[in-house]
């Protein structure tokens, strides 16, 4: 019989953009394929900056832009597929079906979703959710593990 899953959380303060990038780099070293990460927070909270650090941590050298208009930016880095989604401009969650969301989520890939609340009802539970909130000159980062895989990631972060 499986043990019940608990939600585990970890909170830290990121003083500046550099700290946010470094957190993304650190996170990238802990994430395996088939991981779903939700990023939440207001506009300008640092979500894309965190993704930039994550991709650089995997070895990506190119420019990282927010996929606000394309909805998804694919990256192939050292044999790993990473899909960066930005659902901010989505009007209806059903639009996820049009971009073939289930095909992305069923690959051996890392999927990172900004504005996942816009896809409510069409997206599965993530492994981890990261929330960024402005705090003074920096931001407060809260990360929650929602699956066993996410819990393992979180345990290594603490």
Determine the pLDDT at residue 63. 86
Residues of the chain predicted below pLDDT 50: 1-4
Query: Please, how many CA atoms are within 13 Å of residue 34, restricted to the half-sphere of its CB?
Result: 6
Q: What is the pLDDT at residue 99? A: 86
pLDDT for the residue numbered 98: 86
Give the count of alpha carbons within 13 A of 113, CB side only: 27
**pLDDT on residue 7:** 67
Whether the Cβ atoms of residue 120 and residue 28 lie closer than 8 Å to each other? no
**Whole-prediction pTM value?**
0.91
Beta-carbon contacts of 99 under 8 Å, excluding residues fewer than 6 positions away, are: 71, 72
CB atoms within 10 A of CB 47: 26
Q: Do residues 83 and 77 make contact, with C-beta atoms less than 8 angstroms apart?
A: no
Q: List alpha helices for the chain, DSSP H.
A: 17-28, 47-58, 95-98, 101-105, 148-157
CA-closest candidate to residue 87, choices 54, 120, 110: 120
Q: Where are the domains of the chain?
A: 9-157
Q: How many CB atoms lie within 10 A of CB 77?
A: 17
pLDDT for residue 150: 93
CA distance 26 to 114: 19
| Alpha carbons 58 and 56: distance in angstroms, whole number | 5
Q: What is the CATH number of domain 9-157?
A: 3.40.50.300
How many angstroms separate the CA atoms of 16 and 20, rounded? 7
């Amino acid at each position: 019989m499986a043990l019940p899953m608990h939600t585990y959380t970890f909170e830290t303060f990121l003083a500046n953009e550099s700290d946010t990038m470094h957190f993304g780099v650190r996170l990238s070293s802990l994430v395996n394929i088939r991981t779903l990460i939700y990023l939440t927070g207001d506009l300008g909270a640092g979500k894309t900056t965190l993704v930039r650090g994550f991709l650089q941590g995997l070895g990506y050298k190119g420019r990282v832009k927010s996929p606000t208009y394309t909805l998804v930016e694919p990256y192939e880095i050292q044999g790993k597929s990473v899909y960066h989604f930005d659902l901010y401009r989505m009007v209806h969650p059903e639009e996820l079906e049009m971009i073939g969301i289930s095909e992305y989520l069923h690959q051996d890939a890392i999927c990172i979703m900004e504005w996942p609340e816009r896809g409510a009802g069409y997206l599965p539970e993530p492994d981890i959710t990261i929330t960024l909130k402005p705090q003074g000159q920096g931001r407060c980062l809260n990360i929650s593990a929602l699956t066993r895989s996410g819990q393992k990631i979180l345990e290594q972060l603490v």
